[in-house]
Structure 1
Amino acid sequence: GMRLAAYRPHIRSAGLALLLALVVGPLTVVAAGFAAWTGRRAERERERAARRERLASLGELAATVAHEVRNPLGAIKGYAQLVEEGAGAEAARRAAQTIHEECARLERTVSEVLGYARDAQPRLEPVELRAFLDAELGRLAAEAAAREVRLVRDYGDEAVAVRADRDQLARALDNLVRNALAVSPPAGRVVVGLRPERRQVELFVADEGPGVAPEDRERVFEPFFSRRPGGTGLGLALVRRIAEAHGGSVRVADRPAGGAEFMLRLPR
């Protein structure tokens, strides 16, 4: 009897442990199953929300493309009909010039849409930015000259290298410089430069145009937002997408002397 009494506390503890195991064990399994079900449900909700967002973006894209394509097509059709009906030599020349300009506008629209839809995952390689800028600005020199705008380089003699996707960086720079040229007055300047820092480098494009209203400084980087007649609203959205894919950022500020400055920051 005394031996049994000595073991009773142990027996009670073991019984309590068994009881707890019998009660808590199934509850733990149920809780784990509920957590897994909740997680799967939340994941399905996220997927549905992402699909809704993609469909909404696709609808906006379709509406933008339809609008941007319809106007040039109408002009091309009208001027082609004018030539077909036997317009004089001078009228036919003007019609051909307009058709050429509207085809170029269509080509720009298609390029912007395809550029935005393309996979944003960068293929990184070493890029020396001074040589890169010299080459890219050389390609834009004819357009700047046609607009009577001077392209000014402001990046000194120091070599500045980053790891970047050269093609994506070229598309981002092309959008920034073309936008600056489009808003610049005749005899104006577009300044392209670098501000190197220890961990990052800032590539900037500054113009002498009307600037960007404070309430639009975030919105200009949203897809399909544009204050410019004929703009698709995809160019600056693509710049931000490329910047973020590289671990960087882009922002815009007004210049003290007037105009806007777009700053693309990239890690070194």
Structure 2
Amino acid sequence: MKRKAALPGATGRRVEIRGAPGPLWVDRFLLDEPELEGHLLLVQTAASVEALETNLRFADRMRSVKDSARIMAHDVKAPLNAIVLRLDLLQQDLTAAARLPKTKREELLDHVDVVQEELTRVQRILQSFLSQTGPATEHRRRFDLRRIAREVATLMRPQAERSGVRVEVQLGADALPVHAFRDQIKQALINITTNAVEAMAGRDDAVLTFRAARRGKTAELRIQDSGPGFADGAEDRVFEMHYTSKEHGSGIGLFVARSILREHEGSIRLGNLKGGGAEATVRLPLARENEED
């Protein structure tokens, strides 16, 4: 065996010893205990170091996969809940389909459209997870933020009504074009809205309101509820991964929503309304004229 360097005189330094089996790393530490004298030599082989590094990389990767799986499960849950509710409504109405008026038949077709759209969105979420490429599987598109807000309001209305919540949409006349990943923005709004609806469950005169406006070069969407509002100091904590004040909450929804908005150079601010209830203010940069699909 050929030694590259002598053991150092200073405690704690490392030397490398190269030989046929491969390099060895030797660390020397002075034993500073009353009943012990001498030095401790820690010998590591290249194989052991590489194995440790491999295990650490694998553990880190598994943590990432685990977090991704939790987020995916949370994201898939929302469209699946919407599908189940819509199919339930369809089942009830189709029993009397033969004598339904035209407006009711159109409502049934709307339910079918929602189911088809949400199933397609589930497919995209799963494909994004399986490919491990995230947003790259989707392209940024130019769209009106008000349209996504209406879609979310329509999607969430059955769940809201079952919880005794009335949904109101007041989005104004001004278009709010943004250039973003459409599915991701929709998911962020669904997460925020779901949180608001769950906060109002069982309350009298519960109302969920969507309001939109143009603020300079920014599109602003406010989602207001008449729930109990946020406890002191909770406005920031609710964005922490796995933090939840609900008995069966996952603590993922608002964390994901804020992450999505930040990736789009947007923001979300939470606060309590003076007359009671809470408000989530979402802001996204307006699309520039040269930003198209």
- Change beyond 3 A, Cα 1:200–1:224: same
In structure 1, what is the Cα distance between the partners aligned to 2:139 and 2:254? 21
What is the aligned partner in structure 2 of residue 178 from structure 1?
194
Is structure 2 residue 158 aligned with structure 1 residue 142? yes
TM-score w.r.t. the length of structure 1 is 0.56
Task: Show CA shifts across 1:193-227 (max 9, x none).
Answer: 11311211121111111111232211111111111
Give the 4+ runs in structure 1 shifted more than 4 A. Answer: 49-65, 114-118
Match of 1:217, SS state, is helix
- Change beyond 3 A, Cα 1:203–1:146: same
In structure 2, what is the Cα distance between the partners aligned to 1:237 and 1:200? 22
Q: Which amino acid aligns with 2:210?
A: V
What is the aligned partner in structure 1 of residue 23 from structure 2?
none
In structure 2, what is the Cα distance between the partners aligned to 1:247 and 1:63? 24
What is the aligned partner in structure 2 of residue 164 from structure 1?
180
Q: Which amino acid aligns with 1:214?
A: D
- Check conservation: 1:160, 1:196, Cα contact below 8 A: yes
Deviation at 1:242, TM superposition (A): 0.6
Deviation at 1:51, TM superposition (A): 8.7
Moved more, 123-132 or 219-228: 123-132
Identical aligned residues as a percent: 28
- Check conservation: 1:250, 1:265, Cα contact below 8 A: yes
For structure 1, the 5+ residue unaligned runs are: 1-48, 66-110
Q: Which amino acid aligns with 2:198?
A: A
- Change beyond 3 A, Cα 1:142–1:200: same
Deviation at 1:54, TM superposition (A): 6.6
- Check conservation: 1:64, 1:232, Cα contact below 8 A: no
Match of 1:214, SS state, is coil
- Check conservation: 1:207, 1:260, Cα contact below 8 A: yes
Is structure 2 residue 265 aligned with structure 1 residue 265? no
- Change beyond 3 A, Cα 1:198–1:53: farther
Which structure dedicates a bigger proportion of its chain to helix?
Answer: 1
Deviation at 1:228, TM superposition (A): 0.7
- Change beyond 3 A, Cα 1:149–1:125: same
Which structure dedicates a bigger proportion of its chain to strand?
Answer: 2
What is the aligned partner in structure 2 of residue 190 from structure 1?
208
Find the partner of 1:210 among 219, 228, 239.
228
Deviation at 1:186, TM superposition (A): 3.7
What is the aligned partner in structure 2 of residue 221 from structure 1?
239
In structure 2, what is the Cα distance between the partners aligned to 1:58 and 1:136? 28
TM-score w.r.t. the length of structure 2 is 0.52
- Change beyond 3 A, Cα 1:134–1:238: same
TM-align CA RMSD: 3.2
Task: Show CA shifts across 1:54-87 (max 9, x none).
Answer: 766767789999xxxxxxxxxxxxxxxxxxxxxx
Q: How many residues align?
A: 174
Match of 2:205, SS state, is coil
- Check conservation: 1:202, 1:265, Cα contact below 8 A: yes
Find the partner of 2:273 among 255, 258, 262.
255
In structure 1, what is the Cα distance between the partners aligned to 2:144 and 2:224? 21
For structure 2, the 5+ residue unaligned runs are: 1-55, 73-121, 287-293
In structure 2, what is the Cα distance between the partners aligned to 1:244 and 1:167? 15
